[in-house]
Structure 1
Amino acid sequence: MSFLYVYERAAKIGVKDNCIVVESEKENLKRTLPIEGVENVIIFGEASLSSNCVKQFMERDINLTWLSSRGKFFGRLESTRNVNIYRQRRQFACGEDDEFCLALAKKIVVAKVKNQITILRRYQRNRTETSVINIVDTMARLLPIMERVNNKDELMGHEGIAARNYYQGLAALVEPGFAFSGRSRQPPRDPFNSLLSFAYTLLMYDMYTAAVNRGLNPYASFLHSIRKGHPALCSDLMEEWRAVLADSLALYVTSKGIIKLDHFDKPNHDGGVYLNSDASKAFIAEYEKKVRSRSHYLTYVDYSVSFRRAIEMQCQRLAKAVEEGDPDIYQPVVIR
């Protein structure tokens, strides 16, 4: 199954002869893609869809995610085929169970910090002039403390300390021109933060699709606080993957010169820094390569799967944990 990203200005999207057709007069573009095998269409910015296209997407269970050119979420178009109200009722009940939520939150946060440590160690090998050993040691000392906490507030407090150390380590390991002083969001105020935010946006809607396809409610979380309009479950599910798929990608594209400083527009009126259109397409292409690459990181199968397939399987694992009321069924991904 594949994802289709539409970034062309004023694109028109239709379906003809069993193919998705994307046209843009402004960019003198016309492309076709067989509709079979397309699972998700993500639109950035302005685009229009024919009524037949909408109908075909609904009939074929193809999700449509609509974002601004800067990655702001507008909404989704999806069929109700995967809605599982029985599973969602169990999900809501588990979300009110403090013991279930704490046990699951510990698993997710500990895995997240372990993965952050691994990424720092990996990139330290190529930065012999810089050391993040003290940062890694500080983060590692937090792990047993996190496993012993008695509530989510304590857990998130220690996670916050780990996060501050982690981003300090990232800042020391990025290419000199991309150095940053810490995480900034909404808007990102420097090029590296811009890449992180963009990668997190792409990852968020991978998670959203996987959660919905497994009959889970993307807004009902166990770790993050719920709030109107925010897919908090997707934020939960992203945590173990942020360093693995998003942070490592930002480090990779900057270290290899795929994304350069001149690929960013001047700061926006809100002070935000964003990739230009062509560089955004290049970044999306690298993201797709990343999520389609295969690994053996799932502990409950003895074969390799793509990262995107692993995300889907993790959602299914969470669904089983919810239905049986047993957080130990969920096994977060920890990279090596």
Structure 2
Amino acid sequence: MQRLLNTLYITRQETYLHKERETIVIKQGDEKLGQFPALSLGGIICFGRVSVSPFLMGYCADQGIGLSFYTDYGRFLARVQGPESGNVLLRREQYRWADSQEQAASVARLSVAAKVANSRSVLQREIRNHGETPALREAVDKLATSLRRVRNAYSVEAVRGMEGDAANTYFGVFNDLLKGSGFAFGGRVRRPPTDPVNALLSFIYSLITQECTSALQGVGLDPYVGFLHKDRPGRPSLALDMLEEFRAAWADRFVLTLVNRQQVQLKDFETDASGAVRLKEEPRKKVLSAYQERKQTELQHPYLEEQVPIGLLPHCQALLLARHLRGDMAFYTPYMVK
């Protein structure tokens, strides 16, 4: 099993990263802010006005260290990628599957089924911990129906429609899960998020998408050719397919923890001129620190039956998907919480 390495988050503005022997140095002007051994890092994520030397970019590409750039409020911009790894025959098989309606639907159906099942588990957990309400019970029952329908869907378009219906059901009661003072959620809003909860969800979804992209590239799959999400230039469709399995079980539960434990508060957010809501710089550091801690938490993988850190879940699923596409496994087993 792959070892979970650290991710370095650079949030201070006007910083400069460069390579010094086998270490990565962070400077601001003439002041050295930190120096880290490269061997301990699996990724570097830069927010805002952060510069990286060309030599460090090349080193990260050669060593498989993910290097990603975000705006200062968390919107993904770009990533540095080295040579393709893995077997070209695997990627050719992936493209054939993506072009086949039947084969694409077989994988898309499983990914969405996992998303619906995990969403339902989040609501059932709320009922166990805080009691049942008519709205929660209705949503749980509707998601059970959606799960049965998804399992019998035989086209990608049908799967997409069912995924949208299930998401509307789930997010329709998401506000009932929020216990933090003053936080409210009226529905999923993206590009841009216009309230603190949507801002947190979008931010964490974006981080996990990059984890999925790196994991897929690591096993030799093309993260830009998916089965559920349509092809679009610059869109990591397969990484977004995999994200569906982790939205409720990983991202949403993490956001609920931040809000309900008051690790984030309304004062931690600001609204820019466009109406977009975003985390302020210091609270964002706290969220990233909590996210890094969550990645270290170990759990029992339901299929592999091994203890793995949450941060390695994308790698586990990428391995299973690659084995399925190669024909080593009859079925792809998506990540579903028990």
Give the TM-score band, short-chain normalised: over 0.9
CA deviation string 1:180-213 (max 9, x = no partner): 1100000001010000000101011001111111
Query: Aligned match of 1:322 in 300, 320, 325?
Result: 325
Cα distance in 2 between the residues matched to 1:219 and 1:60 = 21
When the two structures are superposed, what TM-score results if normalisation uses the length of structure 1? 0.93
Q: Report how many aligned residue pairs link the two structures.
A: 332
Aligned residue in 1 for 2:125 = 122
Compute the displacement of 1:89 (Å).
1.0
Partner of 1:3: 7
Calculate the aligned-residue CA RMSD, in Å.
1.9
After TM superposition, give the deviation of residue 302 of structure 1 in Å.
2.8
| Offset, 1:63 | 2.2
In the alignment, what sits opposite 2:157?
153
Asked if the contact 2:195–2:277 (Cα under 8 Å) also holds between the matched residues in 1, the reply is yes
* 1:55 Cα deviation after fit: 3.5
Question: Could you tell me whether the CA contact under 8 Å between 2:302 and 2:337 is conserved in 1?
Answer: no
In structure 2, the residue matched to 1:262 is 267
Aligned match of 1:223: 228
What's the offset of the Cα at 1:6?
A: 0.9
* Mapping of residues 129-148 of structure 1, within 5 Å: 130=133, 132-148=136-152
Q: Report SS of the residue matched to 1:270.
A: coil
What is the alpha-carbon distance in structure 2 between the residues aligned to residue 150 and residue 19 of structure 1? 51
- Listed as ranges, the gaps of 5+ residues in structure 2 are none
Which residue of 2 is the match for residue 180 of structure 1?
Answer: 185
Asked whether the 8 Å contact 2:106–2:154 carries over to 1, the reply is no
Q: How much has 1:73 moved relative to structure 2?
A: 2.4
Q: Alpha-carbon deviation of 1:140?
A: 0.9
Q: Determine helix, strand or coil for the equivalent of 1:113.
A: helix
Q: C-alpha separation between the residues in 2 aligned to 1:13 and 1:130?
A: 52
Write the distance in 1 (CA, Å) between the matches of 2:15 and 2:273: 26
What is the TM-score when the length of structure 2 is the normalising length? 0.93
The residue aligned with 1:45 is 48
| 3-state DSSP of counterpart to 1:177 | coil
Q: For the residues of structure 1 that align with 2:87 and 2:7, how far apart are their CA atoms? A: 23
1:9-48 aligned within 5 A: 9-25=13-29, 30-48=33-51
Q: Does 1:237 align with 2:242?
A: yes
Percent identical across equivalent pairs?
A: 28
Equivalent residue number for residue 291 of structure 1: 295
Matched, 1:169 2:155: no
User: Runs of 5+ in structure 1 lacking a partner?
Assistant: none
Distance (whole Å) between structure 2 residues aligned to residue 152 and residue 303 of structure 1? 32
Superposition pairs for residues 47-126 of structure 1, below 5 Å?
A: 47-80=50-83, 82=85, 84-126=87-129
Moved more, 199-208 or 307-316: 307-316
- 8 A contact 1:63–1:79 mirrored in 2: no
